[in-house]
Structure 1
């Protein structure tokens, strides 16, 4: 894996090269050409999406230098597409078939009640990390090395051993909690630990009772339950609901006035996959990180938290890393060429490309087994967007 550019250097590059534009009220728009992008390349990708080449893509948004360069939305009849699956019990429809955890219900997915708010699925984890970053910046959240069990009545927790006692908030943030969790199975498989979590009543108890398999901090193991525990810890530590806190201290300052956030049957915010937003508002959250946590001159999230979040706590695969619920991907030959992004089930991919001062957002709803093989993934989408930059440069020669 090629080294990641030290983040402080990246931040200095961004501060030197980017002109701050604040889309609090609305994103300004400009032509691709004026933003140094080839419109023909973006239009070709638009046509491929519209033709269904990459499955059920719902929308894309390309932002450069704080301005919308290209935006498109696509319509699909999900009630008809997933009509049969919506009434058949399985890993993606394990509870009430009319409820919010039937992933084939067109009333709930991918758009909330048929409106404009699109499910973000596990991008909700990245947003949860952002909210914690706000609380840390405001000095209203515990030290990340605080043991997780200090927020529980340990007499009611199962499978406690020395490893579980050593598990900290930081381990939950970095997917290194050490639980014997199995989310590597397809989500349509009822044996997937996350599918079992969402079919349970008390998600916090379901997760904290899980037995341990590894020493915390040693092994990356993707675990949606870990983010559920963060919502619980947030409520216990701050006395505030994490959604309520987000609205006041994150959403409203950015001009995000419309959202929906699912809750577990027990009432806790679904921090692992429950956020719905319009793609333009998703872009605001990620633009905040591109701008090092600052918005209209106000430091919403500290630069230190941004740096920690997008530093690779774990490295795996040829060019990938993971920070505080941020996916990191190296895409070029230079150490600075690293994307920061979220990754949600069905094809939710907001991506920051710091080197090019870009934020891009893609939404889709490819949820049937095998749909992920359509070559619609963050690496592919990043390259497609950057092709527009390269082709513009070649065109100008």
Structure 2
């Protein structure tokens, strides 16, 4: 019996050391610590989430048997139930205190900011011509460009030349004029085409109607009320405006707060930050998009088939597989971050969602 006890103790110590890189003390296999940052934390089973399935997923990621990610967070019923970080050689070391770039997840945040402007009456009509916000570009008006509306920009159906990249705009000292100088690629409203340019014009309009820099407006009206204090909007256009299509970097727990805001229909801590009607419009299908997706107002809408059941979700998606996924049916938020380039923007983290996280909820 003494030998067995000694062997058991040795196994516990060695196991703890072996997993020390992934688990902070007391975390178990993904149980989040209480950091006093606005999140209530509990064990997964307290929110009807099967912990063994999440443990299997995390251990598979850590061992290299599953898609490689930097972090996974799961929020159920407004409570943080799972949080795990995966550090590998030759990558940054991530933890709960480290910001992670969201890449094009930034676009969905800009949609929330536009909703705030609409709620305040700063923008009265989504179907107003976009060029009405830019009287200084009277010389660029054509009958075709006059038909572009703010709604078209939100749904990426403006018909602008999508080949004008964010990298090009970052060197352009007058990116807004450059955007409207381009010949249209198609009739406004005719079809979806993913475009950084559409979102950059939304950012320009926001600065015009609010009278504030985009990143300052975000801090004052969104991040501040959410208790998000560690913000870096590190990418800029040539005119020094914060990029609307890219560049926002937040801690994973703060990305999750944005998802919870959407799940709460725009409410946070008893205050309506964004109207429920804007959240409903933004996260409803407005136009068909590739790969069985729909698109709302800068939000993606997808679905997963699990156990003969189709689960609908809304997501902010970014390059290198950054994902903020809102699952209303199960009152759940999932956040993925990754540093390695994915073959496609959608994969491989959806495999983790479908094979592990959704079954853990069911």
Per the shorter chain, which TM-score range? 0.7 to 0.9
More displaced stretch, 331-340 vs 278-287: 331-340
- Where does 1:253-264 land on structure 2 (aligned, <5 Å)? 253-262=225-234, 263-264=236-237
Q: Is the 8 A contact 1:204 1:225 kept in 2?
A: no
User: 1:340–1:374: structure 2 CA closer, same or farther, 3 Å change rule?
Assistant: closer
Q: Is the 8 A contact 2:171 2:237 kept in 1?
A: no
User: 1:386–1:149: structure 2 CA closer, same or farther, 3 Å change rule?
Assistant: same
Question: Which residue among 130, 139, 145 is the counterpart of 1:148?
Answer: 130
SS of residue in 2 equivalent to 1:131: helix
- Where does 1:89-168 land on structure 2 (aligned, <5 Å)? 116-152=98-134, 153-155=136-138, 157=140, 160-168=141-149
Q: Are 2:49 and 1:76 equivalent residues in the alignment?
A: no
Q: Are 2:335 and 1:354 equivalent residues in the alignment?
A: no
Under a length normalisation based on structure 2, what TM-score does the superposition of the two structures give? 0.81
Segments of 5+ residues of structure 2 without an aligned counterpart are 1-34
Under a length normalisation based on structure 1, what TM-score does the superposition of the two structures give? 0.75
User: 1:155–1:379: structure 2 CA closer, same or farther, 3 Å change rule?
Assistant: farther
Q: Is the 8 A contact 1:336 1:355 kept in 2?
A: no
Q: Which has the larger radius of gyration?
A: 2
SS of residue in 2 equivalent to 1:339: strand
State the 1:151 CA deviation: 2.4
SS of residue in 2 equivalent to 1:292: coil
Tell me the distance in 2 between the aligned counterparts of 1:218 and 1:61.
Answer: 38
SS of residue in 2 equivalent to 1:213: coil
State the 1:348 CA deviation: 0.6
Q: Which residue number in structure 2 is paired with residue 241 of structure 1?
A: 213
Runs of 4+ in structure 1 off by over 6 angstroms are 333-336
User: 1:297–1:178: structure 2 CA closer, same or farther, 3 Å change rule?
Assistant: same
Alignment length, in residue pairs?
Answer: 323
Tell me the distance in 2 between the aligned counterparts of 1:170 and 1:311.
Answer: 13
Tell me the distance in 1 between the aligned counterparts of 2:267 and 2:238.
Answer: 36
> Deviation per CA, 1:20-53, whole angstroms, max 9, x where unpaired?
xxx9942111111121111111112112222334
User: 1:374–1:349: structure 2 CA closer, same or farther, 3 Å change rule?
Assistant: closer
Give me the CA root mean square deviation: 2.6
Tell me the distance in 2 between the aligned counterparts of 1:373 and 1:130.
Answer: 22
> Deviation per CA, 1:310-340, whole angstroms, max 9, x where unpaired?
1111124564210000000122489983101
Q: Which residue number in structure 2 is paired with residue 341 of structure 1?
A: 315
User: 1:248–1:375: structure 2 CA closer, same or farther, 3 Å change rule?
Assistant: closer
State the 1:142 CA deviation: 4.1
Segments of 5+ residues of structure 1 without an aligned counterpart are 1-22, 82-105, 183-191, 391-397
Q: Is the 8 A contact 1:55 1:366 kept in 2?
A: no
Q: Which residue number in structure 2 is paired with residue 384 of structure 1?
A: 356
